[in-house]
Structure 1
Amino acid sequence: MIMSARLFVVTVALAITGLSAPAHANNSRYAAFVVDENTGVVLHSRRSDAERYPASLTKMMTLYMLFEALEAGEIGLNDPIRVSANASNASPSRLGLSAGDTISAENAIRALVVKSANDVAVAVGERLGGGESRFGALMTTRAAELGLTNTTFRNASGLPNSRQTTTARDMARLAIALHRDFPQYFDYFNEESFTWNGRTYHNHNSLVGRVRGVDGLKTGYIRASGFNVVVSAERGDHRLITVIMGGPSAAARDAHAEELIEAAFATLEQRQDTRLFAALSSPRINPVRQQDLIARDVAALHLSEPTEMGSANPPPALQVVLADEDEMRVEPLAPARLDTPSRLPRTEPSLIRGAWSIQVGAYNTADAAHERLAEVAIFSGALDTAQPAARAVTVSGDRLWRARFESLTEHEARLACRELSARDHPCFAVAPGR
């Protein structure tokens, strides 16, 4: 599980060019998360634990439950799934099944992945759970067992329900579980089209078949969520899971996902001698700048909403702005306990440093980390009273040393990163407890 290992976090610098910029943008639904499935290294995290609506990403859990039933022998790929009147009345996107129709389990899988058919999702939920509401409860229980601790399901489709919520991090966990537990079925996510009753439907995930290495997983859309996508991509020894939630359109969401994928793979390819860099460069921009500009949200104004609910239609007219936001904010924690409380005068509590720190690199020896600390210390006055430290951490079996300046206030940490970044020295501020 992603949270079961100690993770080295690398910030992603990104930009989307050539898009119009309205004067005002509202992007409160946005969240993003990128992780290397094979190593557990988190490459980008943006509001990844904030509550969001999954929309048709819900169908990944419906598929997980269906795959489990197949493996348990409770249903076969060729077995028919009967469509009830309730299922046939599901809101679009749907396959157009009528009450009394049947669809094989295998075609149901394809309809869920490619067409994101809500009528099929309801039928699957009723078949496996005896009713969609009960199936939602079973989904939630199984999700918790998989580590999706911030997710609640109320239906099998992802159609609007105010109590059906998740997070970007949990959706990444689910994607990893699907690939890990059911590799024999994973190719269904890589199918670009699906034909039913003489009509061919094309995968809503435009990255499949277009972006190198992408082999799934799922898109989703309802008005309350914006445009969501979970993407799996494999190149060489690395498999990335990328989650985008709250995109203003399918086109903007997909462009943003592609940016993150390319940037993450570029950084992974640049790693040499087991070194993890403290900053990540997008292929199309200069190295990381100040902390508040590291991650930029994609937002839009006055976009016409598509009528189809549950999954993304072809994109509406695109009107996008890049809006600056605070990077990876967390709730304030109690100040961390100092390793050596006596190192500061007890009679001057105002001098006790903050619990923030900055990271300027991660290296395969402590000496290399200390050398880096000495090299950059002179470039920011905010570091005059900071405590340099090489902190050992194990990442996927590799012993690394994080080069950090500790005992800073938040203001000092952000100021130091601005000053270092202005001189092209990678840096990111580390909140208390991270």
Structure 2
Amino acid sequence: MIKTAHLLILTLSLALSGVSAPAHANNSRYAAFVVEENTGVVLHSRRSEAERYPASLTKMMTLYMLFEAIETGEIGLHDQIRISANAANATPSRLGLRAGQTISAENAIRALVVKSANDVAVAVGERLGGGESRFGELMTTRASELGLTGTTFRNASGLPNSRQTTTARDMARLAIALHRDYPDYFEYFNEDSFTWNGRTYRNHNTLVGRVRGVDGLKTGYIRASGFNVVVSAERGDHRLITVIMGGPTAAARDAHAEELIEAAFATLEQRQDTRLFATLSSPRINPVRQQDLIARDVAALHLDEPTEMGSADQPPALQVVLADEDAMRAEPLPPATAPATRRAEPSLIHGAWSIQVGAYNTSGAAHDRLAEVAIFSGALDSAQPAARAVDISGDRLWRARFEALTEDEARLACRDLSARNHPCFAVAPGR
């Protein structure tokens, strides 16, 4: 199983960046993160380390602590958990248990997963921690040990507390830890209903059983957080963890999560031969330095006229892969296609145009980018992908380009990519 450290293997700017609707991008509470669990490859990341309120995603940690207690023998699946007056008074969502009643640990698991019962969460916290406040401290300590460095818990339920915060990336780490450490209990997340006292409750996570491969995990909502969800999905050899935080509605959140899941699986199918590895200790590329390199690359083109990105009047800043690229350990990639022989009147040569979709510190990163965006424009079907090395002020960059295009094909391809928010500009012959 993947170690927690592998979550930071790589941050890629993939095809997934094009599926985030403007409504999400403009939502100050929005954050998203998609990671392939088995390899640790990050497929999508938007504000993934920004502070957010977990709401009932908190119960994932409560469940982790409960699973751990069961495994160590502190409590048994059939042991009864007593409901205190404090637990019985928890605000909805809840089962409506009265003070003095009990619920088995196994039914508590189901109540937390399916019903997201706050009264049960409080009772579990009191049973395992001797009090919910103390349990919050234990949760935070354990979370830190699991690598959730941006998370603080104050209660077991996720009910509003201004000091209970997390990040989308941390929630993905927690989801992976649940599956990695307690696979025998993970099936509870895949249950679509729970019956208690003759009443059946449907799973709040409506993606379970509806979207192919989805087998958990948890939803959450408080007014301050918006609509959150963490989703696990498995197809073939790939298992995805998708996190959405700050959705405007449950329906919009679920639709966006499904969109990211489908796009991620499609991307993984295109990337079967890509193997990228890095470690937590790898140095980070300085984003300011990287932007400076890209700006000089554009300036070095000496363009005589405005370049195009789709129908825009001016190209936006090139998107930069902010990843541990200098420390990548990758299989050697095929050499770039040799440059075409320069001829007279290059503008009249069929297929002499190209498009550039980025500039990167390594040839491998440039090839990755080419593979990621190639599927989004039919105009690129016959294009030749190439990573072209260029030295600018003593620094070497690799331009990620599709070559052997006509001018019309180049501009059409950029329009297609622009529609999905992928940086692109057409490059005239000889540049």
Seen in structure 2, the aligned counterparts of structure 1 residues 338 and 366 have a Cα distance that, compared at 3 Å, is: farther
Aligned residue number for residue 121 of structure 2: 121
Counterpart secondary structure, 2:363: strand
Instruction: Pick the structure with more helix per residue.
Output: 2
- Specify which of 368, 371, 395 is matched with residue 337 of structure 2: 371
Runs of 4+ in 1 over 4 A off after TM superposition: 13-17, 330-334, 336-339, 355-359, 372-378, 380-383, 386-389, 402-409, 416-421, 423-429
Give yes or no for the alignment of 1:335 onto 2:289: yes
Alpha-carbon distance, 1:269 to partner? 2.1
**Structure 2 CA distance for aligned equivalents of residues 163 and 254 of structure 1:** 27
1:372 and 1:60 map into 2 onto residues whose CA distance is 52
1:75 aligns with 2:41: no
Which residue of structure 1 lines up, in the alignment, with residue 314 of structure 2?
A: none
CA RMSD in angstroms comes to: 4.2
Deviation at 1:6, TM superposition (A): 2.9
Partner of 2:207: 207
Instruction: Spell out the pairing of 1:175-214 with structure 2 (5 A cutoff).
Output: 175-214=175-214
Q: 1:43, CA displacement in angstroms?
A: 0.7
The verdict on how the C-alpha distance between 1:16 and 1:245 changes in structure 2, with shifts beyond 3 A counting, is: closer
1:97 corresponds to which residue?
A: 97
Contact residue 90 and residue 118 of structure 2 kept, 8 A: yes
> Residue 271 and residue 356 in structure 1: after superposition, are their counterparts in 2 closer, same or farther (change >3 A)?
closer
Distance 1:377 1:94, change over 3 A: farther
- Gap regions ≥5 residues in structure 2: 277-283, 294-316, 322-327, 342-350, 369-385, 403-409, 424-431
Q: Deviations over 1:50-97 (max 9, x none)?
A: 000000000000000000000000000010000000000001000001
Report how many aligned residue pairs link the two structures: 343
RCO (CA 8 Å, sep 6+): is it higher in 1 or 2? 1
Does the 8 A contact of 1:78 with 1:105 survive in 2?
yes
Q: 1:422 aligns with which of 414, 424, 428?
A: 414
Query: How big is the shift at 1:387?
Result: 8.2
Q: Does 1:390 align with 2:382?
A: no
Q: Secondary structure at the match of 2:170?
A: helix
Matching residue of 1:230: 230
C-alpha spacing 1:199/1:374, structure 2 compared with 1 (3 Å): farther
Report the Cα distance in structure 2 between the residues aligned to 1:25 and 1:270, rounded to whole angstroms.
26
Deviations 1:269-303, CA, capped at 9 Å, x for gaps = 2334x1479xxxxxxxxxxxxxxxxxxxxxxxxxx
CA distance in 1, matches of 2:388, 2:65: 44
Structure 1 residues 337, 202: CA separation in 2 closer, same or farther (over 3 Å shift)? Answer: closer
Rounded to whole Å, the distance in 2 between the matches of 1:147 and 1:167 is 12
What is the 5 A alignment of 1:30-49? 30-49=30-49
Equivalent-residue separation in structure 2 for 1:420 and 1:372 (angstroms): 24
Q: Give the counterpart letter for 2:414 in structure 1.
A: A
Shift of 1:149: 0.2
Name the CA distance, whole Å, in 2 between partners of 1:271 and 1:143: 32
1:420–1:34 Cα change, 3 Å: farther
Instruction: Describe the shift of the 1:73–1:373 C-alpha distance in structure 2 as closer, same or farther (beyond 3 A).
Output: farther
Superposed, 1:403-422 pairs within 5 Å as: 403=387, 422=414
- SS of residue in 1 equivalent to 2:77: coil
Question: Residue type of the partner of 1:67?
Answer: F
Distance 2:412 2:398 in 1: 11
Question: Is the CA contact 2:363–2:398 (under 8 Å) kept in the aligned structure 1?
Answer: no
For the pair shown, the structure with the greater C-alpha radius of gyration is 2
Give the equivalent residue in structure 1 for 2:51. Answer: 51
Q: Distance in 2 between matches of 1:176 and 1:268?
A: 18
Which position in structure 2 is the counterpart of 1:221?
A: 221
Q: CA 1:389 to 1:13, structure 2 compared with 1: closer, same or farther past 3 Å?
A: closer
What residue number does 1:161 align with?
Answer: 161
Q: Which of 9, 12, 15 matches 2:12?
A: 9
Tell me, in whole angstroms, the C-alpha distance in 2 between the residues paired with 1:168 and 1:404. Answer: 35
Matched residue type, 1:48: S
Q: Secondary structure at the match of 1:44?
A: strand
What fraction of aligned residue pairs are identical, expressed as a percent?
70
Where structure 1 has 5 or more consecutive residues not aligned to the other structure, the ranges are: 278-329, 340-354, 396-401, 430-434
Counterpart amino acid of residue 246 in structure 2: G
Q: 1:254 to 1:424 in 2, by over 3 A?
A: closer
Deviates more, 1:39-48 or 1:373-382: 373-382
Mark the CA change 1:33 to 1:240 in structure 2 (over 3 Å): closer, same or farther.
Answer: same
User: What is the TM-score when the length of structure 2 is the normalising length?
Assistant: 0.69
CA distance 1:57–1:419, shift in 2 (3 Å)? farther
